[in-house]
Chains A and B, each alone.
Chain A
């Protein structure tokens, strides 16, 4: 996952599936004939919040750097489709043991070979609890992983020969290969282990770009990348390099775009949401990405358990006019939800049975609420907890008003000053109200949007939802060896979610960006990031 602190506005690193780039205006999609140029493009970014070690980078600032200076076993195309990069092939017979072959002759920019060791050592390092890596839990499904003791070497990882290794999982997980384009699974060169701290400051990768020498990361100012001429893979850079300018505020970055000091901006400040599409006409993007926003209603809340709870949840969902909120509050920069995942995810459908519950219908909402009242009369007020340091107050208040008007109940937002405190209250289960939540896909798979969020006992299941039927369907989907069969199970699992509504889906977060006339072939991916290697710039 890539994390952005504003919470709901955040878009993550992962995503994919068969996305039709809705709203992707002219500009990038069809590659022009322009030959690769040596001009360096500039793009805004934020100061990485962790050392640039693949297993320790889980937020957008560092993620964008690593995505461009490393090449993983696989990578994701703009539409989220997975392609092999470093991998020659990845095979399995039972979705539990995978044999991974690496292409021959690949090297890191310091000359170290990209071999089986470079993956296995990096993964072992990331998984060992003593190393305190933020992304350690990405290895939890590999055999041998433990949260209770430090495991220096996972028993599920085995080097077969220089270019081959096998991965044995604790249970079948058919989307495992899909994950391998995520930052945490990148290889690390042998020489890095001598001084991993120095490596975090000056990482050496095997991707389309490399850092422009020692100290290319000028903290809080910029990170300069140059083209890696040795890179041999599907993402060869069509420009001479990328200068990432680090901004503390998106407003400043936007001003630089207007002033011509920046080629590409990968997010749009709230102040420009209404104007950016006319100001940079034909050079903007505003499309759903692999991230969604929900309101979680924990079952422990009074009136929200059992049959009464189901009726109230459905009533609340019907009472929310998602179209209106996304238009009026967000100027069309959110896309109303039709499921629990995202339109860029493979297997996405607007037609999943039960998804009608997401349609606005004030009369039905009132009726359902009245039915619930017949079981046990409603008391108290309905509150939605959110962090006030992100752009949340507007939409929370709007939804609270809709609930007030359409259900005739007392509803309001419950602001918490900071994001840290908001999350702290949720994870310690001190929150005694509904709360806003968001999920940013780590990798483009439907399972990733369901399992970790709604599976019984799953890490991010902050509402403590549990339904054995749902769990069983997830397991069946995960162990399916064919993608189609898996997706079918995951869609059936969503049918159960629509009935139980552990969280009320609101909308998908859009990826937004704009660019100047100086650059061509700009395209944004499923993860909301610009695909930098294909951008061309006139000298």
Chain B
């Protein structure tokens, strides 16, 4: 097990190097000069432009810029944004916010999705199953910004149950509404996934065996059916958590959440290479770790799964 983990972590190094290189190249290849953009519709003197370009090493060839950035990573200096804020500080400020939002969203979609999926799966073809299907189909087909704007308007402005946008410090109570919005789409997926998985497991031999040896339904459902149905769901949840951690740009924008998605989007627009690449590096790292955790979790859920030494 330990050897497996070490191997996976070592594999992460070339992946990280490769992704930072690719992302840095893409930012570099982005058309348009970010320094010219700093002056808006006005045209600064070329000498001034040159000097400011040099300040951000933008006058260097791509490969030099990349190695300056890479060298910075190893010395803990990720560069600064145009506003003079160290990128490491921006990372430290935004990731905890997005983490809170993601955990909350995953919690909501997990609880609601698995419950609905389980009930629907156990009562296949019933009225609950049918209505769950209709609701999930509606949710899946709605674009997230529609849900977000409607939720903000109804619950924030009209009813006043939630703050319309997220306040300073992104407290949990303000994050509930955006988290619910984020959870809606995945809720639909998870409930469908759980339902299918539950129906499948319900028909397995070991469930019939359990029933025939006299186990009560209240024992069979959680221990034998649910647990074994969860593997595809856990995979989905983990991927979804990864997606949420790299920032829900649209939702964060609508609810003014000072998280990863919003910040990264602005950095891309401004052409702030160091900020973009640092963010993406951390995101790749998060993805790799989450995927590793999921693989380990499989073994816990299904003892038949073993990892090679």
Binding site for B on A (CB under 8 A): 1, 3-5, 7, 10, 12, 47-51, 58-59, 129-130, 132, 134, 136-137, 140, 147-148, 197, 200-201, 218-222, 247-249, 251-253, 255-256, 258-259, 261, 389, 417-424, 426-427, 437-440, 452, 459-462
Contacts and interface: CB of A to CB of B under 8 A. Distances in A.
B39 interface: yes
A403 to B, nearest CB: 22
B39 A417 contact: no
Given A247-B256, A417-B31, A420-B34, A7 B164 contact: no
Interface string B151-166: 0110011001001110
Tell me which of B43, B152, B157, B167 has the highest count of chain A C-beta atoms within 10 A of its own C-beta.
B43
Nearest to B270: A49
A420 B41 CA distance: 10
5 contacts: A5-B269, A129-B47, A221-B169, A439-B41, A461-B43
A419 B32 CA distance: 8
Interface in B6-43: 30-34, 36-43
A220 B263 contact: yes
Given A129-B47, A420-B32, A424-B31, A3 B41 contact: yes
Interface of B: 30-34, 36-45, 47-48, 51-52, 55, 82-85, 89-90, 93-94, 152-153, 156-157, 160, 163-165, 167-169, 252-256, 258, 262-263, 265-266, 269-271
Contacts of B90: 219-220
A10 B32 contact: no
A171 B125 CA distance: 88
A221 B168 contact: yes
A421 B152 contact: no
Given A50-B82, A261-B164, A147 B37 contact: no
B32 A3 contact: no
A436 B101 CA distance: 41
A461 B33 CA distance: 19
Given A4-B40, A220-B263, A249-B254, A50 B83 contact: yes
Contacts of B160: 259
A275 to B, nearest CB: 12
Contacts of A140: 45
B47 A222 contact: no
Contacts of A47: 83, 266
Nearest to B47: A147
Contacts of B45: 137, 140, 147, 459
A459 B48 CA distance: 11
A437 B39 CA distance: 13
A247 to B, nearest CB: 5
Contacts of A437: 41
Given A10-B41, A261-B167, A423-B32, 17 more contacts: A12-B40, A49-B38, A58-B38, A129-B51, A147-B45, A200-B84, A220-B94, A248-B253, A248-B266, A252-B255, A255-B164, A259-B160, A261-B164, A424-B33, A427-B36, A437-B41, A460-B43
B42 A1 contact: yes
Contacts, number: 175
B31 to A, nearest CB: 4
A132 B52 contact: yes
Tell me which of B34, B42, B43, B254 has the highest count of chain A C-beta atoms within 10 A of its own C-beta.
B42
B55 A132 contact: yes
Contacts of A129: 47-48, 51
A12 B39 CA distance: 12
A135 to B, nearest CB: 9
B163 A261 contact: yes
Tell me which of B84, B157, B269 has the highest count of chain A C-beta atoms within 10 A of its own C-beta.
B84
Nearest to A6: B40
Contacts of A252: 164-165, 253-256
B253 A197 contact: no
Contacts of A51: 83-84
A248 B163 contact: no
B145 to A, nearest CB: 10
B38 to A, nearest CB: 6
A423 B36 contact: yes
Contact of B40 (A10, A148, A418): A10
B165 A261 contact: yes
A442 to B, nearest CB: 9
B165 A421 contact: no
Given A248-B266, A255-B157, A7 B168 contact: no
A89 B90 CA distance: 44
Given A59-B40, A261-B163, A423 B33 contact: yes
Contact of A418 (B38, B82, B263, B269): B269
A247 B265 CA distance: 13
A225 to B, nearest CB: 14
Nearest to A420: B32
A418 B32 CA distance: 7
Nearest to A419: B37
A130 to B, nearest CB: 8
A220 B93 contact: yes
Given A147-B48, A261-B163, A420 B271 contact: yes
A259 B255 contact: no
B86 to A, nearest CB: 11
B258 A3 contact: no
Given A248-B256, A252-B253, A255-B164, A49 B83 contact: yes
B87 to A, nearest CB: 12
Contacts of A424: 31-33, 36-37
A460 B254 CA distance: 35
Contacts of A460: 41-43
Contact of A5 (B30, B37, B167): B37
Nearest to A134: B38
Contact of A423 (B30, B41, B254): B41
B31 A58 contact: no
Question: 3 smallest A-B Cβ distances: which pairs?
Answer: A3-B40, A420-B32, A421-B32
